[in-house]
């Protein structure tokens, strides 16, 4: 509820409308990032999908399943892109001491060079977007809001899809951000990415 100055309280936006508008905005933002990522990756001879997967294993080799968890898409999608990167000499499969069958994906020197070639475009876009948002603090605030939204959906788990486990008014969901929950440490993310499809 919101209160008008000098008048009675009037209802704020309905949760359903907020959810729909938020989803539409995020979908549009995702499409915009995909287009930008493709343009930035092209001079390096990459697609946005390949740059995302390759960027995820720059600092340490990871199994395909771990890459999939980090970027938030299916293992099969990452596997297709990883195989293409290996075929192009931008990545290699290495033995995994912890699992004989699940090999580690690692960037090659050529792969690191390709990602480095994206750097100047990434830096230029970052500066322009910061200025368009009004400064570094505003940029960080936008990121914090998106991160909080992602964590809230992750905390809901399956409840987010079927509407189960609604919290009582004034009480947080049992897995809501701020309550105890499992955390994971993720490697540095690639500059700009997309759900890998090649």
pLDDT of 33:
92
Per-residue confidence (pLDDT) for residue 13, from 0 to 100? 85
Per-residue confidence (pLDDT) for residue 188, from 0 to 100: 47
Give the N- to C-terminal CA distance of the chain in Å, as an integer. 46
Are residues 52 and 122 in contact, defined by beta-carbon separation less than 8 angstroms?
no
**What is the overall mean pLDDT for the chain?**
83
Q: Give the pLDDT of residue 177.
A: 44
- Using the predicted structure, report yes or no on whether residue 85 has a pLDDT greater than 70: yes
> What average pLDDT does this structure show over 105-110?
97
Residue 80, number of CB atoms within 10 A of its CB: 17
User: pLDDT digit string (tens) for 147-161?
Assistant: 999 999 989 987 666
Q: Please state which of the ranges 50-59, 90-99, 138-147, 188-197 shows the lowest mean pLDDT.
A: 188-197
pLDDT at 56 over 60: yes
Answer CATH for 32-161 from 3.30.210.10, 1.10.3720.10, 1.10.10.10, 3.40.50.2300: 1.10.10.10
pLDDT, greater one: 191 or 182: 191
pTM: 0.69
Q: Bigger pLDDT: 176 or 14?
A: 14
- pLDDT of residue 197 exceeding 70: no
Position 98 scores a pLDDT of 84
The domain segmentation of the chain, as residue ranges, is 32-161
């Amino acid at each position: 509820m919101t209160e008008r100055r000098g008048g009675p309280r009037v209802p704020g936006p309905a949760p359903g409308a907020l959810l729909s508008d938020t989803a539409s905005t995020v979908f549009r933002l995702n499409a915009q990032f995909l287009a930008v990522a493709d343009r930035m990756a092209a001079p390096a001879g990459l697609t946005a999908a390949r740059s995302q997967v390759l960027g995820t294993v720059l600092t340490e080799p990871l199994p395909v399943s771990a890459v999939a968890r980090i970027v938030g898409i299916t293992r099969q999608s990452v596997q297709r892109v990883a195989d293409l990167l290996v075929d192009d000499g931008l990545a290699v499969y290495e033995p995994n001491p912890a699992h004989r069958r699940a090999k580690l994906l690692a960037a090659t020197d050529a792969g690191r060079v390709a990602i480095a070639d994206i750097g100047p475009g990434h830096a230029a876009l970052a500066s322009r977007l910061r200025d368009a948002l009004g400064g570094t603090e505003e940029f960080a605030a936008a990121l914090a809001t998106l991160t909080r939204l992602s964590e809230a959906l992750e905390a809901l788990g399956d409840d987010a899809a079927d509407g189960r486990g609604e919290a009582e008014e004034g009480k947080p969901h049992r897995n809501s951000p701020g309550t105890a929950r499992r955390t994971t440490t993720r490697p540095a993310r690639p500059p700009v990415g997309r759900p890998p499809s090649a």
